[in-house]
Amino acid sequence: MLRDEGPLVPLAGCTDVYVNLNFGTLPQKRFLNLWALDALRKIEMRGRVLSVGALATYTEMIRSPLVRRRLPILASASREIGGAQVQNRGTLGGNIANASPAGDTLPVLAVAEAVLVLESAGGMRRVPFNSFYTGYRRSILRSDELIAAVEVPPLAGRQWFRKVGTRAAQAISKVVMAAVRGQAPRVALGSVAPTVLRLTQTEAALVAGASIEEAREVLEHEIKPIDDIRSTAEYRRRVSGNLLERFWRETA
């Protein structure tokens, strides 16, 4: 249908789509409801890879023993998204496709070096999550493609996640960080640039043996936060540095 009857807007949990409809910011008027496609909802191991279907909801990820064991920071992020109602409807695929720089699962997928499985009538392709976004709310997803699943390879090291918002529930992130302290540390931030950001320069400084204070200085130059209705650039820069220090201390 996406190929032959498009353009169609895929609908998953609708928690983003309905907001856009209510604001009148969605020009398209034709939709394709994915909700009944249970094949896109599975959470399973494929060999050593954790595969999370794009239609998996936050509630399903929170309850999944596989997610909690293999990628506990995905469960942590899911617990802090919206409230119970949004967790019951909102999906991982919707969070990715919506492409907001504040999407809470995105830093998790960035440090997990996840792979997106994209499917269309023409076939399937696998794309590294870290090359999916091309700019603010832009990605390489074609209009005839669906995100089918997210694949997470084995991840060694201590995982860490922290969301900073106005409240613990029903608040969009001012800053959100996911990190892994393995042989080489991995750090990603949301809400500090047009897309989710892997902090490769900060990571390189840590690998080279920089002190956490020096790494913090690198981070503060690496991110490009802005002033908006949720926060200021100055606040975001300061809090991002605080989070880096906290990650380092708590995973020592």
Ligand X SMILES: Cc1cc2nc3c(=O)[nH]c(=O)nc-3n(C[C@H](O)[C@H](O)[C@H](O)COP(=O)(O)OP(=O)(O)OC[C@H]3O[C@@H](n4cnc5c(N)ncnc54)[C@H](O)[C@@H]3O)c2cc1C
Asked if 192 interacts with ligand X (CB under 6 A), we say: no
Asked if 104 interacts with ligand X (CB under 6 A), we say: yes
Q: Which ranges of 56-101 would DSSP assign to H, the alpha helix? A: 58-63, 65-70, 72-79, 84-89, 92-98
Asked if 14 interacts with ligand X (CB under 6 A), we say: yes
The one segment of 92-100, 109-117, 152-160, 201-209 that binds ligand X by CB under 6 A: 92-100
- In whole angstroms, the minimum distance from the beta carbon of 115 to ligand X comes to 15
Number of other CB atoms surrounding residue 151 within 10 Å: 16
CA-to-CA separations, 156 to 178, 179, 222, in angstroms, rounded:
14, 12, 25
Q: How buried is 126 (Cβ within 10 angstroms: 0-12 exposed, 13-18 middle, 19+ buried)?
A: exposed
Binding to ligand X (CB under 6 A): which residues in 111-150?
Answer: 146-147
Q: Let me know: does 150 contact 114? Beta carbons within 8 Å.
A: yes
Q: Which is nearer to ligand X, 147 or 223 (CB)?
A: 147
- The helix/strand/coil state of 239 is helix
Eight-class DSSP state of 87: H
How far apart are the C-alpha atoms of 165 and 203, rounded to whole Å? 24
Asked if 185 interacts with ligand X (CB under 6 A), we say: no
3-state helix, strand, coil in the chain (%, to 5): 35, 25, 40
The one segment of 87-95, 179-187, 198-206, 243-251 that binds ligand X by CB under 6 A: 87-95
Q: Let me know: does 196 contact 214? Beta carbons within 8 Å.
A: no
Asked if 164 interacts with ligand X (CB under 6 A), we say: no
- In whole angstroms, the minimum distance from the beta carbon of 82 to ligand X comes to 3
Binding to ligand X (CB under 6 A): which residues in 33-72?
Answer: 34, 54
Asked if 90 interacts with ligand X (CB under 6 A), we say: yes
Binding ligand X (rule: CB under 6 A), the pick from 17, 111, 175, 189 is 17
Asked if 86 interacts with ligand X (CB under 6 A), we say: yes
Contacts with ligand X by CB under 6 A lie at 9-17, 19, 34, 54, 81-82, 86, 89-91, 93-95, 97-98, 103-104, 146-147, 170, 172
